[in-house]
């Protein structure tokens, strides 16, 4: 088949054929997940779909289009459905990948995510997230890599390289300043120029220069009073001119805030569609008035066409494929290995681990996460995994035949009750609920659309089949497995009533205050009890109306309808699970307590109120009580952030498991029994308490003014802050880069070669030998930190410049090299608007964490003459 365009540059040839209206139609999405189809005249051989232009109701129907689909997210290709969609592989969260300190693992995961995206008919993945962790209260920290920009930049670059090796575009996000989720749609973040350059822009700069990502997503917050989508300094001057970025710039969903400013600043694509800001009449008027130049429209359209070309939409990927669930064994193995490698062993007194299963008779598995697979956090990182392995499933299937396994939940951590599902029947006689939609609020006439849902939750968001909806009836027939005065929770986005057996049981008279929290499953709910009878069918009906006014800061939620019905049996709610857990712990050889956050407590859209484990101290009480009952208590924490550990001195073992993907239960067990020798290192600093952090009083819900947040810590983020408090009562509990192993290592023969000086691009190379002194194989991370000379410049005590991870057999020796150039030595000089390097004597610390206590070697070099360069 011949080319549908003239020979030569496909993008330029196509751009030359498009009318102005057609070019403008490219600058916003077609729907939630797809870019607008590219209109072409008289190209019948192109196998694409024929649809009407979303920007012009009079577009001729014979035009043909190419579409490119995108998909969330950074730890799995979810596909087009936000809930209950086509199943997908769930990989470890980026914070878990960062804890591996293994660029190779990040690249392999990126490559596998590219393969997964293709199975969803998508050739652009919305990830990775490379914003730095600023506070342990960040609700979305788990989705990003680290508090350190260098670690984030190195791991994210390799992730992007792996992903794009499958010809699937990466979308690095959220550019810029998306470190908190509290009021993220409107908050104004005050960040110094130096902190921006050295901390918050740095990982983006590294990925752009080292990995050439095909897409970049702008964020919601204002930076120093201006939204990023309208800021030419960030999009044009820094990103394109200084860093040489040649990819597409899209907005986060609903984060476009203007027409003229965003187009002129460099935002190529408004997402999602249909457009709110870039309709053809509005843009045309701006062009005619001279506020937008025609060549600017060409540049924005060129970026979209270039992305289509890169992803193969003009050649072998013309058709949009149906989503498929393909569960590959090699992906399973990778997820398990990566999840295990990211687990960080933080305490192992008396070498309790690894467990010798042959010497165990009974193990008590306790805690609210023992039968919960904490594979991912909430929000856009969530997905319908092919499967999820809980710790309980891993233990019972792999060691249960040799060891008696007992279980107790030990604590309730409900934020929203679980969806009612078991025992429900919809109007078609199938399991689940039925939603019927009306275009009037009086439920007059027949519903214009009907959907089925598997459980007690529905939403109209992203459902284009129900446009014009005003009211919904959400119904099921419930046949309880057991009689009881059971517990229910109820909430809707708009005004609503809940009936059971035609009797009004609950009423929500006003719309929810925050529609986004409802979408993410963290909304406030009405709670009550109802006496259900076994053997009787109970009719449950929710009637809900669309909110008349906006009830949130994101316009995409306006007019949406949602309902949730949660359920907990009386027996489960009223059982004394703490006493049960303590009793089982007393009778066991080992008690393994699984605690942490779930999707309701750690999610996009909401930051945490404090560093404590949820809920109301129940998990802390569980651990303390179990530790008193059993001296061999192992605590496994699954969060994306540091939490307070008031019981740490009372337990011999503590490990941090993060969100390790669908194989999380197996990965945790692999480490506990020694199938994997732990080698994870903290990609964050672990404070003793939140008050010790640099951001205390200036983050999220903690901020004195939640609409304006000042980055008061400036460049002193994470360990850069705690280095200033080493040896004081604010010293960090566990330092950045820290993690234990079941073996020991020795670093020897350190050497430094090379130079950094004006007018050259030379660099420094550090080398040495690492020896495994133990009797089992293991891996260690050699970390290199630069200590600048004492000058008038206010600089952190040290900063990470590189690292090397080595896997060694018992007794094996291996050489390593760590290299860096002047960019890792420089600081941002605001007076010059350039990177500057001081003259003087510099020191390199080689160690196994950022703490001076873990320093293994010290090397020095000098820079004779100060100089500046860049940007």
Domain boundaries along the sequence of the chain: 424-478+483-568, 745-869
Residue 54: per-residue pLDDT: 26
Distance CA 274, CA 390 (A): 40
Question: Of the given ranges (308-312, 395-399, 594-598), which has the lowest mean pLDDT?
Answer: 308-312
Compute CA 233 distance to the chain's CA centroid, rounded to the nearest angstrom: 27
Distance CA 19, CA 559 (A): 35
Compute CA 534 distance to the chain's CA centroid, rounded to the nearest angstrom: 42
Residue 62: per-residue pLDDT: 28
Distance CA 313, CA 298 (A): 20
Tens of pLDDT, residues 801-849: 999 999 999 999 999 999 999 999 999 999 999 999 999 999 999 999 9
Residue 3: per-residue pLDDT: 37
Mean pLDDT rounded to a whole number for the chain: 92
Q: Is the pLDDT of residue 183 over 50?
A: yes
Summarize the confidence of residues 862-869 as an average pLDDT. 95
Q: Is the pLDDT of residue 226 over 80?
A: yes
**Between residues 38 and 293, the one the model is more confident about:** 293
Given pLDDT bands bounded at 50, 70 and 90, which one contains residue 41?
very low
Residue 703: per-residue pLDDT: 67
The b/e string for 618-636 (b: 16+ C-beta within 10 A; e otherwise) is bbbebbbbbbebbebbbbb
Would you report the helix, strand and coil content of the chain in percent, each value rounded to 5?
Answer: 25, 25, 50
Name the token pair of 12: 């330029």
Summarize the confidence of residues 397-414 as an average pLDDT. 95
Summarize the confidence of residues 183-204 as an average pLDDT. 96
Distance CA 411, CA 332 (A): 31
Distance CA 436, CA 448 (A): 8
Question: Of the given ranges (74-83, 392-401, 442-451), which has the lowest mean pLDDT?
Answer: 74-83
Q: C-alpha angle 184/126/270, rounded to 5°?
A: 65
Given pLDDT bands bounded at 50, 70 and 90, which one contains residue 45?
very low
Question: Of the given ranges (3-7, 309-313, 675-679), which has the lowest mean pLDDT?
Answer: 3-7
Summarize the confidence of residues 626-648 as an average pLDDT. 98
Tens of pLDDT, residues 456-483: 999 998 787 898 999 999 999 999 999 9
Summarize the confidence of residues 645-660 as an average pLDDT. 98
Q: Is the pLDDT of residue 617 over 70?
A: yes
The b/e string for 528-564 (b: 16+ C-beta within 10 A; e otherwise) is eebebeeeeebebebbbbbbeeebbbbebbebbbbbb
Q: Residue 7 contacts by C-beta under 8 Å, 6 or more apart in sequence? A: none
Given pLDDT bands bounded at 50, 70 and 90, which one contains residue 49?
very low
In percent, the amount of the chain with pLDDT more than 70 equals 95
Highest averaged pLDDT of the listed ranges 70-84, 724-738, 785-799: 724-738
> Are 391 and 365 within 8 A, CB to CB?
yes
> What's the pTM?
0.94
User: Annotated catalytic, 252?
Assistant: yes
Rg from Cα positions in the chain: 28
> Are 178 and 143 within 8 A, CB to CB?
no
3-state secondary structure of 101: coil
Residue 10: per-residue pLDDT: 84
Residue 504: per-residue pLDDT: 98
Given pLDDT bands bounded at 50, 70 and 90, which one contains residue 758?
confident
Given pLDDT bands bounded at 50, 70 and 90, which one contains residue 651?
very high
Residue 180: per-residue pLDDT: 94
Q: Residue 37 contacts by C-beta under 8 Å, 6 or more apart in sequence? A: 30, 48, 49, 51, 53, 64, 65, 66, 67
Question: Of the given ranges (182-186, 326-330, 520-524), which has the lowest mean pLDDT?
Answer: 520-524
Distance CA 611, CA 769 (A): 39
> Are 122 and 70 within 8 A, CB to CB?
yes
Q: Which of 797, 745, 733, 803 is nearest to 773 (CA)?
A: 745
Given pLDDT bands bounded at 50, 70 and 90, which one contains residue 83?
low
424-478+483-568 classified as CATH 2.60.120.260: yes
Q: Is the pLDDT of residue 549 over 50?
A: yes
Residue 178: per-residue pLDDT: 95
Q: Which of 72, 148, 229, 252 is the catalytic position? A: 252
Given pLDDT bands bounded at 50, 70 and 90, which one contains residue 749?
very high
**Between residues 702 and 438, the one the model is more confident about:** 438
Placement of tokens 């076994």 in the chain: 534
Q: Is the pLDDT of residue 404 over 80?
A: yes
Summarize the confidence of residues 334-338 as an average pLDDT. 98
Distance CA 528, CA 542 (A): 15
Residue 68: per-residue pLDDT: 54
3-state secondary structure of 585: helix
Greatest pairwise CA separation for the chain in angstroms: 87
Q: Is the pLDDT of residue 700 over 70?
A: yes
Distance CA 295, CA 132 (A): 36
Distance CA 44, CA 64 (A): 8
3-state secondary structure of 170: strand
Backbone angles phi, psi at 302, to 5 degrees: -60, -40
Q: Residue 809 contacts by C-beta under 8 Å, 6 or more apart in sequence? A: 772, 777
Q: Is the pLDDT of residue 427 over 70?
A: yes
Q: Is the pLDDT of residue 44 over 80?
A: no
Q: Is the pLDDT of residue 381 over 90?
A: no
**How is domain 745-869 classified at the CATH fold level?**
Immunoglobulin-like (2.60.40)
Summarize the confidence of residues 59-83 as an average pLDDT. 61
């Amino acid at each position: 088949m011949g080319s549908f365009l003239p020979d030569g540059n496909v993008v330029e040839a196509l751009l030359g054929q498009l009318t102005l209206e057609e070019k403008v139609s490219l600058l916003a999405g077609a729907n939630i997940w797809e870019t607008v189809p590219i209109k072409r005249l008289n190209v019948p051989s192109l196998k694409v779909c024929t649809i009407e232009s979303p920007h012009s109701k009079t577009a001729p129907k014979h035009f043909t289009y190419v579409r490119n689909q995108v998909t969330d997210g950074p730890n799995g290709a979810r596909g087009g459905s936000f809930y209950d969609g086509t199943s997908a592989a769930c990989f470890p969260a980026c914070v878990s990948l960062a804890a591996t300190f293994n660029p190779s693992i990040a690249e392999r995961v990126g490559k596998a995510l590219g393969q997964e995206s293709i199975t969803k008919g998508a050739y652009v993945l919305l990830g990775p997230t490379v914003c730095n962790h600023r506070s342990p209260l960040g609700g979305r920290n788990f989705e990003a890599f680290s508090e350190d920009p260098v670690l984030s930049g190195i791991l994210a670059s390799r992730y992007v390289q792996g992903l794009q090796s499958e010809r699937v575009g990466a979308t690095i996000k959220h550019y810029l300043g998306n470190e908190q989720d509290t009021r993220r749609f409107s908050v104004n973040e005050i960040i110094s120029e130096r902190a921006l350059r050295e901390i918050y822009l740095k990982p983006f700069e590294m990925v752009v220069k080292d990995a050439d990502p095909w897409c970049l997503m702008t964020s919601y917050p204002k930076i120093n009073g201006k939204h990023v989508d309208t800021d030419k300094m960030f999009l044009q001057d820094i990103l394109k001119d200084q860093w040489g970025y040649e990819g597409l710039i899209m907005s986060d969903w609903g984060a476009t805030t203007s027409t003229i400013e965003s187009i002129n600043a460099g935002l190529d694509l408004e997402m999602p569609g249909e457009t709110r800001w870039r309709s053809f009449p509005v843009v045309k008027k701006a062009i005619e008035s001279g506020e937008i130049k025609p060549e600017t429209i060409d540049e924005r359209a060129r970026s979209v066409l270039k992305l289509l070309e890169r992803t193969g939409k003009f050649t072998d990927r013309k058709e949009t494929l149906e989503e498929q669930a393909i569960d590959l064994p090699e992906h399973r193995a990778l997820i398990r290995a990566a999840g295990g490698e990211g687990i960080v062993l933080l305490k192992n007194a008396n070498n309790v681990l690894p467990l010798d299963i042959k010497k165990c008779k009974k193990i008590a598995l306790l805690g609210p996460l023992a039968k919960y697979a904490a594979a991912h956090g909430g929000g856009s990182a969530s997905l319908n995994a092919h499967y999820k392995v809980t710790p309980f499933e891993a233990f019972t299937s792999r060691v249960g035949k040799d060891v008696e396994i007992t279980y107790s939940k030990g604590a309730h951590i409900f934020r929203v009750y679980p969806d009612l599902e078991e025992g429900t029947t919809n109007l078609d006689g199938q399991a689940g609920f039925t939603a019927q939609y009306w275009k009037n609020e009086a439920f007059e006439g027949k519903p214009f659309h009907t959907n089925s849902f598997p459980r007690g939750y529905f939403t109209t968001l992203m459902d284009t089949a129900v446009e014009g909806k005003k009211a919904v009836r959400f119904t099921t027939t419930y046949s309880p497995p057991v009689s009881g005065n059971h517990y229910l929770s109820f909430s809707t986005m708009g005004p609503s009533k809940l009936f059971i057996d035609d009797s009004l049981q609950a009423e929500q008279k006003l719309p929810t205050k925050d529609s986004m929290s409802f979408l993410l499953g963290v909304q406030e709910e009405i709670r009550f009890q109802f006496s259900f009878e076994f053997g009787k069918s109970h009719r449950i009906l929710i009637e809900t109306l669309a909110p008349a006014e906006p009830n949130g800061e994101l316009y995409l939620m306006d007019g949406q309808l949602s309902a949730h019905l949660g359920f907990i049996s009386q027996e489960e709610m009223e059982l004394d699970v703490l006493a049960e857990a303590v009793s089982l712990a007393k009778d066991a050889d080992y008690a393994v307590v699984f605690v942490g956050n779930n999707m309701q407590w750690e999610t996009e859209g909401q930051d945490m109120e404090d560093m404590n484990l949820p809920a109301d101290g129940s998990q802390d009480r569980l651990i303390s009580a179990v530790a008193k009952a059993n001296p061999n208590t192992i605590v496994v924490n699954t969060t994306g952030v540091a939490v307070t550990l008031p019981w740490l001195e009372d337990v011999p073992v503590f490990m941090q498991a993060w969100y390790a993907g669908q194989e999380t239960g197996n990965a945790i067990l692999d480490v506990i029994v020694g199938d994997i020798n732990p080698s994870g290192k903290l990609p964050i600093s672990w404070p003793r308490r939140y008050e010790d952090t640099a951001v205390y009083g200036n983050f999220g819900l903690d901020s004195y003014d939640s609409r304006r947040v000042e980055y008061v810590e400036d460049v002193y983020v994470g360990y850069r802050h705690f280095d200033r408090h080493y040896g004081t009562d604010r010293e960090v509990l566990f330092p950045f880069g820290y993690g234990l192993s079941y073996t020991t290592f020795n670093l020897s023969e350190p050497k430094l070669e090379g130079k950094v000086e004006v007018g050259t691009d030379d660099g420094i190379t550090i080398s040495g030998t690492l020896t495994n002194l133990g009797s089992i194989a293991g891996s260690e991370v050699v970390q290199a930190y630069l200590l600048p000379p004492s000058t008038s410049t206010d600089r952190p005590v040290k900063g990470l410049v590189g690292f090397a991870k080595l896997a060694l057999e018992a007794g094996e020796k291996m050489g390593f090299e760590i290299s860096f150039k002047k960019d890792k030595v420089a600081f941002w000089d605001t007076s010059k608007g350039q990177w500057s390097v001081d003259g003087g004597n510099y020191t390199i610390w080689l160690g196994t964490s950022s703490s001076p206590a873990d320093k293994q070697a010290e090397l020095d070099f000098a820079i004779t003459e100060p100089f500046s360069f860049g940007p």
